[in-house]
Amino acid sequence: MSNKNYYAHETAVIDDNCEIGTGVKIWHFSHIMSNCKIGDNCNIGQNVVVSPQVILGKNVKIQNNVSIYTGVICEDDVFLGPSMVFTNVVNPRSNVNRRGQYSETIVRRGASIGANATIVCGHNIGEFAFIGAGAVVTKEVPAYALVVGNPARQVGWMSEYGHRLNFDQFNKAICPESGDEYIKEGNTVKKLNK
């Protein structure tokens, strides 16, 4: 481990060769497996499994009972809701060893994934996207998209503060909390610089 400037509950298991940043909190019965990289100020809830070689950016919040499998990368400020899960093999079989054939999934900065959602491997989640509770993601999710259901479908757009965006006739929207302005161009949304 790179330092001891983090907290791990006495029931947590941390394997060898992990890099754990300053201010990280690892709670009850969680298992951090070998060769993980965990950025500063992450909060890893109870009964979380972080598989080998997973990379977590800074300030990632992981709620209870989450499984993050090899091949997953979460950028800074990602939120993973209770009991959500990632997969890492498209066609798993008990009698076929597919180690080393893991598909990569990237969760971009600021994205939120709701409780009990499933992210099928190889489908990236865009910046500040919002995955609704129980959704099953089977394709790429654009930045700022709001997706729900099984299979997940896009039903709108979200601000960086987590509010649904309502676009006017000029394809502009304002976040009611931050006042940030957004513009929609085709199937993309971006925040306007102030």
Q: What is the pLDDT of residues 33-71, one digit of tens each?
A: 999 999 999 999 999 999 999 999 999 999 999 999 999
CA distance 118 to 178: 30
How confident is the model at residue 194, as a pLDDT? 62
Mean of the per-residue pLDDT values of the chain:
96
